[in-house]
Amino acid sequence: MPPTRLFLRVKADVLALLHDIPAGRVTTYGAIAESVGVRPRYVARVLATMSDGEAEGVPWHRVVGAGGVISTMQVPGVGERQIALLHREGVRVSERNRIVEFATVFFTPG
């Protein structure tokens, strides 16, 4: 099934916003969604349906759930990978899978 036009538009917008997020900072699905004009779940869907190849060079790991939750923990393997990537940028994650000092590393897109 080919993606809908809306999906492609949102995907392009989301990717553009992701590249504006500096290393060491994170944003949320909700914040991106607000900027793009869709629901948070839609943003999540866009990221979740990206292949490894598409994710190449895309800082998808800088997107977390509201409050700094690593929501990708729901997908086996992905959560661990995201945390590793964040650590590499100096973003600490608690053992409860939450961003440490979330308020200070939060970045508002757009």
Partner DNA sequence: AAAGTGACTGACA
Partner DNA sequence: GTGTCAGCCACTT
Q: Does 99 bind DNA (CB under 7 A)?
A: no
Q: Does 66 bind DNA (CB under 7 A)?
A: yes
Q: Does 65 bind DNA (CB under 7 A)?
A: yes
Element (H, E) at 63: strand 63-64
Q: Does 108 bind DNA (CB under 7 A)?
A: no
**How does DSSP classify residue 13?**
H
Segment lying near DNA (by CB under 7 A), choices 12-20, 41-49, 85-93:
41-49
**How does DSSP classify residue 99?**
B
CB of residue 40 vs DNA: minimum separation in angstroms?
3
SS3 94: coil
Q: Does 60 bind DNA (CB under 7 A)?
A: yes
Q: Does 41 bind DNA (CB under 7 A)?
A: yes
Cα–Cα distance, 17 to 89 (Å, whole number): 18
**How does DSSP classify residue 71?**
G
Closer residue to DNA in complex, CB, 28/93: 28
For 5, residues 6+ apart whose C-beta sits below 8 A from its C-beta are none
CB of residue 21 vs DNA: minimum separation in angstroms?
13
Q: Could you tell me which of 16, 2, 30 has the C-alpha nearest to residue 108?
A: 30
Which residues of the shown chain bind DNA in the complex (CB under 7 A)?
Answer: 1, 4, 6-7, 28-31, 33, 38-45, 47-48, 50, 55, 60, 63, 65-66, 69, 71-72, 74-75, 78, 82, 96, 98
